[in-house]
């Protein structure tokens, strides 16, 4: 990031990224606060973006956080507070006077306030709710009533609504009047007497309209909207797909109750990507945001579930090997290739499932058709197996000290890669059809299917070769 203080001074700050920049500010801030040089603090923070100030306050020792926070201009303090991490928000609530707390919570945007209340103990939330003004209390209670991760929870109730009979000039003066208190003024909504959403227009449409034009004629009646119970991921997809700055949220009676803005949606997209990535890495999805702050026992508890499931999956492989120990007793070097075979199966399966799961998330697989996707992956798996035979078989022949191990490894490698690719593609699609999250559910099943079948094919092939070619009785 390159922060410039503009032409006035002509100076440019060094290129730094956000949180490192905040780290630097935090050090200066701490020095100045400890020295009691509060005017210098104000000068230091004046050109800094609210999110960077929030990060810098987060880096300060707890004892200095309230002090730094009190030095901010009031309007800036609210914005900075909304960017603070939940633990810092909570500790500030304890340190500030109750009149300061009330003013802060009253002035926050409704969606950020609900986000804060989600993190606070129920007792504190009840007390704060009781102290809020009637209008803010109603809005907050309403938002808290929607399910987590829905449009209702994500939306803000601060938007500008116009009427069809307004002239462009009237509308513009409404926008001017309400500009400071609403989250966005760039998307404007038109409602009828019963508050049903009848159209939208952008501020761009409004400023280019003639002053006497009627809003009903300028607006677009084709409105893409979501419902209060629409999943946040679908809300994000809508804004991303249509390149919107905001999307209106309606209730079951098509009444406009709020809007979701693009900045909140970016966070949702990142959160959903983190969830998919964690699922691929066998880390349980949950509060990804605060992983780096959570207790190690909580971390271990969250991960051990998946590990235990995968151990059970692996226990089947153990069973299969133990039940085929006769052939291993004859040719112990066969055991040396088990990790290579099931490792390769796992990797091929992971490639296929990664592509299919991501394709489901980005809705690309729906366009191709699921059957075709599985078929493609099966062929790809067979191709990959054939390519790998070229160097795996000579290695197995040499290291396995003879053609028996080479042949068993080669035959089973081809079977395993084909099977792994097919299972890797088909299982996520199956889980998706069953309404389960493919990113979360597929891994242990793919692993088990590939490992168990792979080891079985390998040891049975070796056993067959041993009996029919070498004449052993196994």
For position 462 contacting a copy of itself by CB under 8 A, the verdict is: no
C-alpha 129/C-alpha 124 separation (Å) is 8
C-alpha 198/C-alpha 227 separation (Å) is 15
Among 40, 91, 186, 251, binds a copy of itself (CB under 8 A): 186
For position 453 contacting a copy of itself by CB under 8 A, the verdict is: no
Segment near a copy of itself (CB under 8 A), from 60-68, 100-108, 129-137, 283-291?
A: 283-291
HSE-up of 386 (CA within 13 Å, CB side)?
6
Q: Two tokens at 155?
A: 């939306």
Q: Which of residues 48-107 bind a copy of itself (CB under 8 A)?
A: 48-49, 51, 55, 59
Segment near a copy of itself (CB under 8 A), from 46-54, 68-76, 155-163, 460-468?
A: 46-54
Segment near a copy of itself (CB under 8 A), from 64-72, 107-115, 134-142, 195-203?
A: 195-203
Q: How far is the CB of 431 from a copy of itself (least distance, A)?
A: 16
Q: What angle do CA 363, 368, 372 make, to 5 degrees?
A: 130
The residue among 73 and 97 lying less far from a copy of itself, judged by its C-beta, is 73
Beta-bridge partners for 258: 249
**With contacts defined by CB under 8 A, how many residues of the chain interact with a copy of itself?**
140
The residue among 15 and 122 lying less far from a copy of itself, judged by its C-beta, is 15
The residue among 1 and 467 lying less far from a copy of itself, judged by its C-beta, is 1
Provide the sign of the torsion angle of the four alpha carbons 236, 238, 244, 245, taken in this order.
Answer: negative
Among 125, 280, 430, 441, binds a copy of itself (CB under 8 A): 280
The residue among 153 and 428 lying less far from a copy of itself, judged by its C-beta, is 428
For position 14 contacting a copy of itself by CB under 8 A, the verdict is: no
Q: Which of residues 132-161 bind a copy of itself (CB under 8 A)?
A: none
259 near 183, Cβ under 8 Å? yes
For position 255 contacting a copy of itself by CB under 8 A, the verdict is: no
Question: What beta strand segments (E) does 327-404 contain?
Answer: none
For position 266 contacting a copy of itself by CB under 8 A, the verdict is: yes
Provide the sign of the torsion angle of the four alpha carbons 248, 251, 252, 254, taken in this order.
Answer: negative
HSE-up of 388 (CA within 13 Å, CB side)?
24
416 near 450, Cβ under 8 Å? yes
For position 43 contacting a copy of itself by CB under 8 A, the verdict is: no
Q: How far is the CB of 121 from a copy of itself (least distance, A)?
A: 25
Q: Which of residues 332-391 bind a copy of itself (CB under 8 A)?
A: 332-333, 335-340, 342-344, 346-348, 350-351, 353-355, 357-359, 362-368, 373, 376, 379-380, 383-384, 387-388, 391
Give the chain's end-to-end CA distance (angstroms, integer).
Answer: 68
For position 165 contacting a copy of itself by CB under 8 A, the verdict is: no
Buried b vs exposed e over 284-318: b needs ≥16 C-beta within 10 Å?
bbeebeeeeeeeeeeeeebeeebeebeeebbebbe
Q: Quick one: three-class SS letters along 159-199? A: CCEECCCCEHHHHHHHHHHHCCCCCCCCEEEEECCCCEEEE
Q: How far is the CB of 106 from a copy of itself (least distance, A)?
A: 22
C-alpha 405/C-alpha 392 separation (Å) is 11
The residue among 101 and 327 lying less far from a copy of itself, judged by its C-beta, is 327
Among 241, 255, 433, 470, binds a copy of itself (CB under 8 A): 241
The residue among 35 and 312 lying less far from a copy of itself, judged by its C-beta, is 312
Q: How far is the CB of 124 from a copy of itself (least distance, A)?
A: 26
Q: How far is the CB of 322 from a copy of itself (least distance, A)?
A: 4
353 near 385, Cβ under 8 Å? no
Beta-bridge partners for 54: none
DSSP state of 331: -
The residue among 207 and 467 lying less far from a copy of itself, judged by its C-beta, is 207
Q: How far is the CB of 125 from a copy of itself (least distance, A)?
A: 26
Among 119, 196, 251, 430, binds a copy of itself (CB under 8 A): 196
With H, G, I as helix, E, B as strand and everything else as coil, classify residue 13: strand
For position 5 contacting a copy of itself by CB under 8 A, the verdict is: yes
Q: Two tokens at 419?
A: 């099977």
Nearest to 215 by CA among 225, 205, 204: 205
The residue among 95 and 178 lying less far from a copy of itself, judged by its C-beta, is 178
Segment near a copy of itself (CB under 8 A), from 34-42, 86-94, 118-126, 304-312?
A: 304-312
Q: How far is the CB of 157 from a copy of itself (least distance, A)?
A: 18
Pairing of strands 197-202, 187-191: antiparallel
């Amino acid at each position: 990031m390159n922060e410039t203080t503009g032409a006035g001074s002509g100076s440019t700050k060094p290129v730094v990224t956000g949180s490192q920049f905040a780290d630097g500010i935090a050090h200066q801030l701490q020095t100045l606060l400890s020295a009691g040089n509060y005017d210098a603090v104000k000068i230091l923070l004046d050109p800094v973006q609210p999110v960077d100030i929030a990060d810098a306050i987060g880096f300060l020792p707890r004892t200095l956080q309230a002090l730094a926070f009190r030095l901010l201009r009031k309007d800036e303090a609210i914005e900075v507070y909304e960017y603070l991490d939940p633990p810092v928000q909570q500790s500030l609530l304890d340190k500030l006077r109750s009149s300061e707390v009330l003013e802060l919570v009253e002035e926050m945007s409704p969606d950020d306030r609900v986000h804060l209340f989600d993190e606070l103990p129920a007792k504190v939330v009840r007390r704060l709710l009781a102290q809020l003004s009637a209008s803010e209390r109603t809005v907050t209670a309403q938002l808290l009533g929607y399910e987590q991760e829905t449009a209702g929870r994500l939306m803000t109730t601060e938007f500008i609504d116009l009427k069809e009979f307004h002239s462009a000039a009237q509308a513009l003066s409404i926008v001017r009047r309400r500009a400071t208190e609403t989250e966005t003024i760039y998307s404007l909504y038109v409602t009828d007497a019963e508050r049903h959403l009848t159209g939208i227009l952008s501020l761009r449409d409004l400023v280019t309209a003639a002053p006497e034009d009627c809003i009903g004629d300028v607006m677009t009646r084709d409105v893409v909207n979501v419902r209060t119970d629409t999943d946040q991921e679908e809300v994000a997809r809508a804004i991303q797909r249509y390149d919107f700055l905001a999307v209106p949220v309606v209730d079951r009676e098509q009444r406009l109750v709020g809007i979701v803005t693009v900045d909140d949606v970016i966070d949702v997209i990142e959160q959903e990507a983190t969830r998919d990535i964690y699922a691929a890495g066998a880390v349980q999805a949950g509060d990804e945001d605060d992983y780096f702050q959570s207790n190690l026992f909580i971390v271990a508890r969250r991960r051990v579930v998946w590990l235990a499931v995968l151990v059970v999956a692996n226990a089947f492989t153990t069973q299969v090997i133990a039940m085929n120990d006769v052939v291993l007793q004859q040719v112990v070097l066969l055991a040396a290739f088990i990790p290579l075979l099931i490792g390769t199966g796992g990797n091929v399966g992971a490639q296929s499932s990664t592509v299919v799961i991501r394709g489901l998330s980005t809705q690309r697989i729906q366009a191709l058709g699921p059957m075709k996707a599985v078929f493609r992956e099966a062929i790809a798996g067979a191709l990959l197996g054939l390519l790998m035979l070229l160097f795996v078989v000579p290695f197995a022949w040499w290291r396995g000290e003879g053609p028996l191990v080479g042949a068993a490894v080669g035959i089973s490698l081809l079977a395993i890669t084909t099977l792994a690719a097919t299972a890797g593609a088909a299982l996520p699609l199956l889980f998706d059809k069953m309404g389960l999250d493919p990113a979360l559910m597929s891994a242990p099943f793919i692993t088990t299917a590939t490992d168990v079948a792979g080891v079985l094919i390998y040891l049975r092939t070796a056993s067959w070769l041993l009996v029919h070619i070498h004449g052993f009785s196994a």
